[in-house]
Amino acid sequence: MSERNQLTDPKSAASSERPVSPAVDIFEDATGITVLADMPGVSRERLDVKLDGDTLSIEGRVELDAPAQMRALFAELSVPRFRRTFTLSRELDAGRIEANLKDGILTLQVPKLAHAQPRRIEVTAG
Amino acid sequence: MLEIMHTRPQSLFDQLDAMQRLLSRSFGGEGAPGGIRSVAYGAFPEINVGRTPDSVEVFAFAPGIDASSIDVTIERNVLKISGERAAAVPPRDAKAQVYANERPAGRFSRAVSLPDDVDPMRVEARYRDGVLRISVALSAAAQPQRIAVR
């Protein structure tokens, strides 16, 4: 049974393993799309939110304040990196994304472009 | 693995079945085998346990919880972590469309067996960046003691 893993062995090399995809909730209302991603153990300095064209990527590195001499007994979360990418559709205003990280939850809000928002059109009579 | 064999009926097929399930969880690519009290694969929150010379460290990955509402108890060397996480997706009748709902919500409860040499009176719990870290000191009597030979 392996007794060391990257999350509890501070000396191990930075991720040779594939990052884990964080669980997300995504919903859309009239004003835009909201994405919530579970990224426990990720602080602001270890979080990367990148926009490349219409591809949005979120990446976070987990850091535990574990004592140096700790060895793992078992680990359900064994890869210390989260990563997930999304393709934003055309009616979203990618330039106005808002990101917030609190207690390990990353919240992204992407508004729709002004002209794509549902509008009520006034009908004039006569 | 021995513990699983003793809690199940002793027929050969039951033992092979239990071993098969334990192995498929262990080598499913997600890390070292879980303790016997690890519930279903994918339970929330995920838990890592480590050991230092004088403590056992338990990490529960639970983002977005109100720290004061988490219930942490130790009874007979079983550490139990329970609480509730509110759902973030809007309810069905709201004018919203839900595309993904992967984040666990609702009540949760997980139990971890601690080694016999822990001192349940010396426990600290901290919550930061969505990780609940519980440190349980090992009892001094269980530490190896050097005995002088005269």
Instruction: Give the residue carrying structure tokens 């239990």.
Output: B18
Domain residue extents for chain A? 24-115
Q: Are B59 and B47 in contact (CB under 8 A)?
A: yes
For domain B37-142, say whether CATH 2.60.40.790 is its number.
Answer: yes
pLDDT tens sequence across B23-54: 544 443 333 344 434 334 448 999 999 999 99
Q: Do the Cβ atoms of A68 and B39 come closer than 8 Å? A: no
Report d(CA A95, CA A110) in Å as an integer.
9
Q: How many beta-carbon contacts under 8 Å exist across A and B?
A: 138
A48-82 confidence digits (pLDDT tens): 999 998 899 999 999 998 888 999 998 999 889 99
Which of B22, B41, B129, B49 has its CA nearest to residue A5? Answer: B49
Q: Where are the alpha helices (H) located in chain A, listed in sequence order? A: none
Report the distance separating Cα B13 and Cα A112, nearest Å. 58
Q: Are A89 and A106 in contact (CB under 8 A)?
A: no
DSSP string, A7-29: TT-TTSPS--SPPBPPPEEEEEE
Tokens of A40: 């426990």
B103 vs A25: CB contact, 8 Å cut-off? Answer: yes
SS3 percent helix, strand, coil of chain A, rounded to 5, is 5, 40, 50
Nearest-CB residue to A40 (from B88, B100, B131): B131
From first to last of the 126 residues of chain A, give the pLDDT tens digit: 334 444 554 444 445 678 999 999 999 988 899 999 999 999 999 999 999 988 999 999 999 988 889 999 989 998 899 999 999 888 898 889 999 999 999 999 999 988 777 777 778 887
- Establish if B92 touches chain A: CB-CB under 8 angstroms: no
The token duo for B34 is: 């879980």
Structure tokens at A115: 């002209």
Mean pLDDT of chain B: 79
Architecture of domain A24-115 in CATH? Sandwich (2.60)
Is residue A120 less than 8 Å (CB to CB) from chain B?
no
Burial status of residue B111 (CB atoms within 10 A of its CB: 0-12, 13-18, 19 or more)? middle
Find the residue in A nearest to B126 (Cα): A65
Please name the helix (run of DSSP H) or strand (run of DSSP E) that holds residue B5, with its range, or none.
helix B2-7
Determine whether the interchain pair B49/A29 forms a contact, defined as Cβ–Cβ distance below 8 Å: no
Model ipTM? 0.80
Among the partner residues B32, B38, B96, nearest to A27 by beta-carbon distance: B96
What stretches of B71-123 show up as alpha helix (H) in DSSP?
A: none
d(CA B148, CA B146) in angstroms, rounded, equals: 6
Q: What percent of chain B has pLDDT over 90?
A: 53
Q: pTM for the complete prediction?
A: 0.74
